[in-house]
């Protein structure tokens, strides 16, 4: 799954650079295609999860692998209009490596050990983001765009084939006598699950907003050259937090972790220069990054029935992608109309608003059950 996630961390920056430099379009046009792919992934994740639940791993991975490979191999030969037209369906057919990895871990790891397993998985994600975009940028700047995008398609296809070949379990073994009927949506899409999805979306809103505000602050202060170092330290802090979260016997609940993630980023803009001070004040909020994401995944795996876990993990994937898609324009608007310091405020408060919408409703008192008529009881 580490290998499967690597091309996913490259595709956004490679498509942007190809459209801007190869096709001569602006960043707005590149953002349109990127938004289409992200929207397709968000729409496709729960549908693919449902297909995993119904048909198993191999058929779905085979179809997605072929579709994703075809899109990226054909991309350097398509005009911009065609790329924009197929962006959403191409995103829908992307192999959902993230939600699939979480399903496999839920099937292989006992419940009491899942926090450690999901923490390790989140650490793996941070590692891919530390090296994936850098490899992609180095490739497209030294090699031709056609070769780079074609190689990316082959990498997508190769990792999909490896997943198909290994065929890891995505659900625990069931007793053959057990009822395999799929539970209805209203029986498992509870407010606890909805709250968890909102926390996941809010966390990604904070993360993408923090990264955008950090880039804006470094650029405004003339320190854009140390961006790579600052982001590497942010990732390292998240990895350290994930290690601690997975190693301790008992960690903080997801609501508290989300609160810390959001509130710790709000005052960062007060110390945005010099660059090393900004880097240091970003460490606390990033320490709870991986724990927050791991905690939401652990909650989803615990409360979603195994028969529908694929769809539940797909909903989590969709929530995180929507948080990403919403965070960039909102925080970007705040930065454009004020300063990078207010971008950190917008990232923290915006993520907190999204998460609290579920957490407040979750803790609201449940309505009293309606009385059952005597005729119905008999």
- Check whether 362 has a pLDDT greater than 70: no
Whole-number Å distance between alpha carbons of 48 and 311: 7
Q: Which residue's entry shows tokens 């809010």?
A: 202
Percent above pLDDT 70 for the chain = 92
215 by Cβ neighbours in 10 Å (0-12 / 13-18 / 19+) ranks as middle
Whole-number Å distance between alpha carbons of 178 and 172: 12
> In this structure, are residues 17 and 140 in contact, taking their beta carbons and an 8 Å threshold?
yes
**How does DSSP assign 96-127, residue by residue?**
-HHHHHHHHHHHHS-GGGHHHHHHHHHHHHHH
> In this structure, are residues 255 and 295 in contact, taking their beta carbons and an 8 Å threshold?
no
- Check whether 372 has a pLDDT greater than 60: no
Q: pLDDT, tens digit, for every residue of 126-163?
A: 888 878 887 887 888 888 888 989 999 999 999 999 99
Q: pLDDT, tens digit, for every residue of 234-262?
A: 989 999 999 999 888 888 888 899 999 99
Q: Prior bond to 33 cis, omega within 30?
A: no
> In this structure, are residues 325 and 207 in contact, taking their beta carbons and an 8 Å threshold?
no
The model's pTM is 0.80
Would you tell me the crossing angle of helices 114-142 and 227-247 to the nearest 10 degrees? 160
112 by Cβ neighbours in 10 Å (0-12 / 13-18 / 19+) ranks as exposed
- Check whether 376 has a pLDDT greater than 50: no
Whole-number Å distance between alpha carbons of 133 and 135: 5
Whole-number Å distance between alpha carbons of 36 and 125: 23
- Residue 78's contacts (CB-CB under 8 Å, 6 or more residues apart) are 86
Q: pLDDT, tens digit, for every residue of 43-77?
A: 888 899 889 888 889 999 999 999 999 999 999 89
Answer with the residue of higher pLDDT: 151 or 370.
Answer: 151
Other CB atoms closer than 10 Å to residue 183's CB: what's the count?
Answer: 13
- Residue 178's contacts (CB-CB under 8 Å, 6 or more residues apart) are none
Answer with the residue of higher pLDDT: 177 or 345.
Answer: 345
Q: Tokens in use for 137? A: 């940028």
**Predicted local confidence at residue 331, as pLDDT:** 87
Q: pLDDT, tens digit, for every residue of 310-335?
A: 888 889 888 988 888 888 788 888 88
- Residue 141's contacts (CB-CB under 8 Å, 6 or more residues apart) are 17
Q: Tokens in use for 262? A: 């959001």
- Mean residue pLDDT of the chain comes to 84
Q: Tokens in use for 346? A: 């917008």
């Amino acid at each position: 799954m580490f290998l499967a996630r690597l091309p996913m961390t490259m595709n956004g920056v490679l498509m942007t650079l190809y459209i801007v430099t190869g096709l001569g379009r602006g960043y707005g046009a590149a953002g349109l295609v990127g938004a289409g792919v992200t929207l397709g992934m968000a729409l496709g994740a729960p549908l693919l999860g449902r297909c995993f639940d119904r048909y198993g791993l191999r058929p779905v991975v085979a179809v997605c692998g072929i579709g994703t490979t075809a899109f990226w191999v054909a991309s350097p030969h398509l005009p911009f209009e065609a790329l924009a037209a197929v962006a959403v369906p191409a995103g829908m057919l992307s192999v959902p490596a993230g939600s699939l990895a979480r399903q496999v871990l839920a099937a292989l790891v006992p419940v009491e050990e899942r926090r450690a397993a999901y923490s390790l998985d989140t650490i793996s994600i941070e590692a891919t983001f530390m090296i994936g975009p850098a490899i992609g940028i180095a490739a497209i700047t030294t090699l031709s765009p056609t070769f780079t995008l074609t190689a990316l398609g082959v990498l997508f296809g190769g990792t999909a084939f490896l997943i198909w070949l290994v065929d890891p379990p995505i659900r625990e073994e069931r007793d053959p006598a057990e009822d395999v009927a799929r539970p209805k949506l209203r029986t498992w899409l509870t407010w606890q699950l909805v709250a968890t999805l909102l926390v996941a979306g809010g966390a990604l809103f904070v993360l993408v907003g923090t990264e955008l505000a950090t880039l804006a602050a470094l650029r405004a202060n003339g320190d854009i050259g140390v961006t790579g170092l600052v982001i590497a330290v942010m990732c390292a802090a998240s990895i350290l937090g994930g290690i601690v979260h997975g190693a301790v016997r008992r960690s903080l609940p997801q609501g508290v972790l989300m609160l810390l993630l959001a509130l710790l980023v709000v005052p960062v803009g007060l110390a945005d220069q010099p660059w090393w001070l900004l880097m240091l004040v970003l460490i606390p909020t990033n320490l709870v990054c991986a724990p927050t994401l791991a905690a939401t995944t652990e909650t989803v795996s615990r409360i979603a029935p195994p028969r529908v876990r694929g769809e539940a993990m797909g909903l989590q994937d969709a929530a995180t992608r929507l948080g990403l898609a919403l965070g960039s324009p909102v925080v970007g608007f705040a930065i454009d109309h004020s300063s990078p310091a207010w971008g950190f405020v917008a990232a923290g408060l915006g993520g907190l608003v999204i998460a609290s919408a579920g957490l407040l409703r979750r803790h609201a008192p449940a309505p009293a059950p309606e009385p059952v008529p005597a005729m119905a009881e008999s």
